[in-house]
A and B are shown apart, each in its own frame.
Chain A
Amino acid sequence: MLKVNGVGKQFDNQKVLECVSFNVEKSNIMGLAGPSGSGKSTLLRCIQKLETIDGGAIDCDAKTGFMFQDFQLFPHMTVLENLIYAPNIQNKGKNQKKHAKELLQNLGILPKKDNYPGQLSGGQKQRVALARTLMMHPGLLLCDEPTSGLDVATTLDVVSLLESVKDMGITMLIASHDLDFLTKIADKIILLKEGCIICDVAPKSMNNPITYLKKYY
């Protein structure tokens, strides 16, 4: 579904990504681990075409959806308006409101549909951001630090939330420095350090993937 081949990126002569190559198979969850500044977010942004690449190629045969670390909900719109605004502009059919309400119901935040983002907790904003992205029917969901700033209980909620997204048949690429979270959810994890892939593991087939990954940090 996604082929990243020899991708390089630099900002002002500082190399951020160096010859990064990997594939993501359909309906898989791929984790992108690494310390802060390792290039995880830049790689996701390159895949989403928010940044241009300096070398290599990114080939994706699915529509991508992007979840920002800080959600980037539109603060002057209600939760429901946040969800239906883009599909309505693109004339994706008349049932957008119904679809949005169903998604909010599934994510357990339907009672908040008329609230503004400023009136929601971090976990609720996370769900709204996810629902807004799902409204665009992405084949590949790119998540940038989905558990950043969330407490342990909400992080577990995010795990089950993303597992339910996987059940919808959506492929995911999740960047996070939270190894505990990634090993719970990902089928495969690649570790980035200083813009290069250091190793990759399949956490569900290992006894102690966190210890293994930490050796490379």
Chain B
Amino acid sequence: MEELIPSILFIGKGILITMQLLIGSLAIGITLGILASILKYKCIAISFINRIISILRGTPVILQLAFIYFLVPSLLGVKLGIVGAGVITFGLNSSAYIAEILRAGIESLPNGQFEAAKTLQIPVAYMWKDIILPQVLRNILPAMTGEVVSLLKDTALIATIGGMDIMRSAQTIAAEKFAYFMPLCIAGGYYYAFVLLIECLGKKLEQGGQHAKS
């Protein structure tokens, strides 16, 4: 057991990178996802948004990551860094899925909620912020929990461009010791613990919204 502690601690350092990737890409994903779903609902730039969503959902994340990390800097002349490229890639990819989840959530709301807001002369921005989105977010919580879990697992792809996250740290230990079993089990344990934590938080949030169901 004592032999394992240095490996557990070393792989654990990768949590910082994994969390940066998860939180950063979730922020981008939710922001762009909300924006895209509202624009789609209002029929603004709908074919452009649909095409982007289709491309992001229809190509492998690892390809998108390589594209942004290797090609964007040479095309646009900006240096992104490993974590920056990861946050942008996973954020954009996640936004496509979140936009579709939100679209389904918005369409599941009765049209009367929009009409009630209109008859009460509630300005459009307030209607979305205080009337529509709180109800939509409550309805899509189970799907959003699944998306966050999926995003967490996708962040392991950062290892392919050298990001020292949980996965890459486990691979480093394995390569040093020529033993894959324990490092991979430790990395799997970290990921699974985070997934359980996300699911637990999701359930708590769902229970918190139960009283407000009509």
Question: What is A's interface to B at a CB cutoff of 8 Å?
Answer: 48, 50, 64-66, 68, 70, 72-77, 85-86, 89-90, 116-119, 132, 136
Contact = CB atoms under 8 A, between A and B. Distances in A.
A118 B213 contact: yes
Contacts of A136: 120-121
A76 B212 contact: yes
Q: Which of B121, B130, B212 has the most CB of A within 10 A?
A: B212
Contact of B115 (A68, A73, A74, A116): A68
Interface stretch (B31-39, B67-75, B131-139, B143-151): B131-139
Contact of A72 (B115, B121, B138): B115
Interface residues of B, number: 22
The SS class assigned to the B binding surface is: helix
A119 B116 contact: no
Interface string B103-131: 00000001011011011111100100011
Contacts of B116: 68, 72-74
Given A76-B138, A76-B212, A136-B120, 13 more contacts: A50-B119, A66-B119, A72-B112, A72-B116, A74-B113, A74-B116, A74-B131, A75-B212, A75-B213, A76-B209, A86-B120, A116-B211, A132-B120
Q: Which of B110, B116, B134, B211 has the most CB of A within 10 A?
A: B116
B135 A89 contact: no
Interface of B: 110, 112-113, 115-116, 118-123, 126, 130-131, 134-135, 138, 209, 211-214
Contact of A76 (B118, B119, B135): B135
The SS class assigned to the A binding surface is: loop
Contact of A75 (B120, B126, B135): B135
B72 to A, nearest CB: 40
Contacts of B115: 50, 68, 72
B211 A119 contact: yes
A116 B131 CA distance: 14
A85 B121 CA distance: 11
A118 B135 CA distance: 13
A77 B120 CA distance: 15
Contact of A89 (B110, B126, B138, B213): B126
A160 B78 CA distance: 71
Nearest to B119: A66
A73 to B, nearest CB: 7
Contacts of A118: 211-214
Contacts of A70: 110, 112
Contact of A117 (B120, B126, B214): B214
A86 B209 CA distance: 22
B147 to A, nearest CB: 21
A119 B211 CA distance: 8
A70 B214 CA distance: 11
A-B pairs, top 8 by smallest CB distance, nearest first, are A75-B214, A86-B120, A72-B116, A72-B112, A76-B212, A66-B119, A118-B214, A118-B213
